Chain A
Amino acid sequence: MTHAGSGHEEVGVTDFLEEVESQTGEKVRICYQCGKCSAGCPVGYVMDLLPNQVIRLIQLGLRQEVLDSSTIWLCASCETCATRCPREIEIVRVMDYLRQQARLGGHTHAAREVPIFIHSFLANLKRFGRLYEPMLVGMYNLASGHLTKDMDKAPAMIIKRKLALLPSRAKGLHRMRQILKNIEEMRRR
């Protein structure tokens, strides 16, 4: 029941809200739109939806609008929002879930580079068990088409021996591969 002026209004619970809450463990419904997350967001200036708007759209069940937004890809996971949220919503965890859903559903047109970066990073881990920076740059540049990205830094880094010229294959490489394979199998089930 809702009383006018009681300051407590039940939000109709949508399927998308239920889904996000059950998958993230975050109580998205208790957000009262104070806007603190957006006020502190360092990347808010380039987002099409501000973080508090993403939360509101989840409450309203507007799945498509949320997954199509650039916000989920621009979020830098800096945790400023989650740290300041008076309702203690871990917004980065919510963003992670939205990114995963967007990748699964192919909603990546708002910022195609981020999914390519995530893919390149994980492919690197499967190959070496640890991140091998030159390979990450190479794979990302090839896949994204930004061929010269960060190439200007290579000469100085080589001179200063800041680049490992050969990857160090982690002794735990087979464990890395096994863990990622196990998780892929768990996800298929």
Chain B
Amino acid sequence: MRYAFYPGCSLESSAKEYRASTVLVARSLGIELEEIPGWICCGSTPGHMSDKLVGIALPAHTLAAAAKMGTEGVLVSCASCYSRLRAANHAVRASEAVANQVALALGERYAGDVPVYHMLEIVAKAAEAPDFEERIKRRLKGLKVASYYGCLLVRPPDITGFDDQEDPQSLDRVVAALGAEPIAWRHKVECCGAALAFTHADVALKLSGEILEDAKSSGADAVVVACPLCQSNLDLRQRNIERFLGIDLEVPVIYFTQLVGLAFGYSAGQLGLGKHMVNPVPLLKRRGIHV
């Protein structure tokens, strides 16, 4: 299986460990990732806030480049990029007028026909296959995790649609397949406020704080995520959240690809576990998982 890989901007810097772990897990699953040549930023939330056409044309450019690669489709690890790429496909297919405007902006026509998959979709499907069990070298027994989906992976369902929008299960199933225990909690699809982290930090700190507090009080050792913006909001800003809310958290926030990579036998160094602000390694050791 060969996919056109769209890393997105975060995976180039603040989420390097997400990229490294995505690449390793893909390799183990026999998935070939070929980076889309000349990819550009999808515009993220500021793109569609600034102008409807900017929000569609930027991801459409990258999709048009991917169309020329002749792969299974685009594979993306960031939930925000995923949402924008799929929204562009949706918009171009839904309206001839929009497709024409996009063609004018890009200088080429894009038909909206390149499938876009989030890495979680691919891993969740792989985890259902009978040979998945054989790949596990290190069972994550005893580790309790809160599966956090956030917003754009599951909403709105007519754009994303690979899992339930209110009570998704795909990540919980992956976690369980690794031998870890997915806990029941209430904040799995609540917004972390990443879009407001710059401009209204108090709001972002409150929303992220509530997510971490719920995970912790529901018995989770760690939160597992599938988005670099969620990760940085929950981990990089965790000290600010603790100060803002006057609470102690110390909750590691781990990419799901890192968790899968651990189970597949990769080392903490290979998976970039040391890059998180709340270091997950002591927790893993406490649970008898030697990395």
Contacts and interface: CB of A to CB of B under 8 A. Distances in A.
B236 interface: yes
A43 B45 contact: no
B43 A113 contact: no
Given A74-B196, A157-B14, A160-B274, A80 B40 contact: no
A176 B40 contact: yes
Contact of B156 (A82, A176, A179): A82
Contacts of B38: 170-172, 175
Contacts of B95: 25
Given A118-B50, A163-B14, A179 B106 contact: yes
A187 B237 CA distance: 38
A170 B152 contact: no
B173 interface: no
Interface string A44-60: 00100000000000000
Nearest to A93: B52
**Contact-residue size bin, chain B (C-beta under 8 Å from the other chain):** 35 or more
A92 to B, nearest CB: 8
A131 B156 contact: no
A173 B16 contact: no
Interface in A141-159: 144, 149-150, 152-153, 156-157
B51 A100 contact: yes
Interface stretch (B54-62, B130-138, B212-220, B244-252): B54-62
A153 B199 CA distance: 16
Contacts of B163: none
A118 B49 CA distance: 8
Given A96-B49, A175-B38, A183-B51, A125 B193 contact: no
Contact of B199 (A80, A90, A117): A117
A182 B275 contact: no
Contacts of B50: 100, 103, 118, 122
Q: Is the interface of A mostly helix, strand, loop or mixed?
A: helix
Nearest to B201: A149
B58 to A, nearest CB: 7
Contacts of A162: 13-16, 275
Given A77-B195, A156-B277, A130 B46 contact: no
B34 interface: no
Contacts of B277: 156, 160
Contacts of A74: 196, 200, 203
Given A121-B46, A186-B105, A164 B200 contact: no
A96 B48 contact: yes
Contacts of B107: 178, 182
Contacts of A111: 199-200
A131 B161 CA distance: 27
Interface in B225-242: 236-237, 240
B71 interface: no
B105 A179 contact: yes
A104 B231 CA distance: 34
B193 A42 contact: yes
B7 to A, nearest CB: 10
A65 to B, nearest CB: 20
Contacts of A176: 40-41, 58, 61
Interface string A21-59: 000010000000000000000110010000000000000
A183 B53 contact: yes
Contact of A79 (B49, B52, B55, B151): B151
Contact of A131 (B41, B101, B198): B41
Contacts of A132: 9, 13
A173 B61 CA distance: 12
Q: Shortest 6 CB-CB distances between A and B: which pairs? A: A172-B38, A78-B191, A131-B9, A79-B155, A113-B199, A121-B46
Given A114-B199, A157-B14, A178-B107, 19 more contacts: A25-B95, A43-B191, A77-B48, A77-B151, A96-B49, A96-B52, A100-B49, A121-B46, A121-B47, A131-B41, A157-B236, A162-B15, A168-B12, A170-B39, A172-B39, A179-B58, A182-B104, A186-B53, A186-B105
9 contacts: A76-B195, A77-B195, A79-B152, A82-B156, A132-B13, A144-B199, A153-B236, A176-B40, A180-B54
Interface of B: 9-10, 12-16, 37-41, 43-55, 57-58, 61-62, 65, 95, 101, 104-107, 151-152, 155-157, 165, 190-191, 193-196, 198-201, 203, 207, 236-237, 240, 274-275, 277
